[in-house]
Homo-oligomer: A and B are copies of this chain.
Amino acid sequence: MSLLVVGSVAIDTVEAPGGRAEDVVGGAALYFSLAASFFTPVRMVGVVGADFPRSVLADLARRGVDLAGLEERPGRTFRWSGRYHEDVNVRDTLHLDLGVFGDFRPTLPAGYRDSRYVFLANIDPVLQASVLDQLHAPGLIGCDTMNHWIAESRPALERLLGRVGMLVINDEEARLLSGERNIVRAAARILSMGPHSVLIKRGEYGIIQFAGQSVFAVPAFPLEEVTDPTGAGDCFAGGVMGELARSGDTSPAGLRRAIVYGSVMGSFVVEDFGPRRLLQLTREAIDRRYRQFVSLTDLDGG
């Protein structure tokens, strides 16, 4: 089943544990699309400037990402530069230039309006809602957000959450959104806002998911080196939504499997700068690491 993602496409410069990398492509929609493309066809809606490398568009197309919804406009692509701390769960933004992303108004090609699986990556919640307004009959709607919108656009965000099935955020965002420090109470508060499940990203500690009375935890994959954490959360979301769109199984067990696939994709992307690792990845490597994830918590393993 086709999967729609709407979000940023960017050119990043990062100072990460593995060193410095200049002008690597990134952005939530790009990472999400590449990760999801290993599971299902992806429709990507975003905007790039004239400076965006065309070879990357060819890479995306080769991986089955439909680019009919990617606007190309005169001007510069959204640029972000940041520095990760020794604790890679923390990063500072050094420079931000919105470029053509500054007046991005997502418009779905007519052929995208029937999308059943939809992911609203982190953008203004008013724009996220405008995407939903353009859809005929969305099935599962996933959504990300960030501290800025929680603090500055809470009414719009709360209206949006009433229309969202699955919220994917990090623990700091979950605490800010809910006003609760304890993660169990934070999740209960968020579920009362609308989503039927909330997936909380905890960096090097993995994922915890709350859905109704059910709680599911996946540890992060124990990596000896994290070269560049950029895109881990977006690749996680791409793996989750990609596997759900592929299987069509949104039962509790189907969701748990998808969360492990998401964790697999997040664990790969950090092994190299930008999306490099994803571009060399095979389905076999994904399934091999899926089995390693299972053995991480397998009581009969070792």
* A103 interface hit (Cβ, 8 Å): no
Q: Are A184 and B223 in contact (CB under 8 A)?
A: yes
Q: At the interface, yes or no: A218 with Cβ under 8 Å from chain B?
A: yes
* Cβ contact within 8 Å between B215 and A217: no
Residues of B within 8 A of A219 (CB): 206, 208, 217, 219
| A221 shortest CB reach to chain B, Å | 9
Copies of this protein in the complex: 2
Contacts of A182 in B (CB 8 A): 223-226
Q: Which listed residue, B214, B226, B296, touches A215 by the CB 8 Å rule?
A: B296
Query: Which residues in B have their C-beta under 8 angstroms from that of A218?
Result: 297
- Inter-chain CA distance A278–B184, complex, in Å, is 23
How many residues on the A side are at the interface (Cβ–Cβ under 8 A)?
40
- Residues from chain B with a CB closer than 8 A to the CB of A222 are 183-184, 208, 215, 217
Question: 1/0 contact trace for A87-117 toward B, CB 8 Å?
Answer: 1000000000000000000000000000000
Bound form: Cα–Cα A298–B253 in Å:
9
Check: A152 CB closer than 8 A to any chain B CB: no
* Cβ-based interface call for A158 (8 A): no
Contact across chains for B214 and A299 when beta carbons are under 8 A apart: no
The answer to whether A86 touches B181 (Cβ under 8 A) is yes
Cβ of A294 < 8 Å from any Cβ of B?
yes
The residues in A between 274 and 294 inclusive whose CB is less than 8 angstroms from any CB of B are 294
In the complex, A302→B259 CA distance in Å? 12
Distance, CA A251 to CA B301, complexed state (A): 10
Q: Determine which of B185, B217, B226, B301 lies in contact with A253 in the assembled complex, contact meaning CB atoms within 8 Å.
A: B301
A211 contacts the other chain (CB 8 A): yes
Interface string of A249-282 (1 = CB under 8 A from B): 0011101110010000000000000000000000
- 18 CB contacts below 8 A, A to B, read A87-B181, A182-B223, A183-B204, A183-B222, A185-B224, A188-B224, A216-B296, A216-B297, A217-B222, A217-B297, A252-B302, A253-B300, A253-B301, A255-B302, A256-B298, A256-B302, A260-B299, A294-B299
Which chain A residues have a beta carbon within 8 Å of chain B's beta carbons? 86-87, 181-185, 188, 202, 204-206, 208, 211, 214-219, 222-226, 251-253, 255-257, 260, 294, 296-302
Complex A-B, nearest 9 residue pairs according to Cβ-Cβ distance, in ascending order: A252-B302, A217-B219, A297-B297, A205-B205, A184-B222, A184-B224, A214-B302, A215-B222, A256-B299
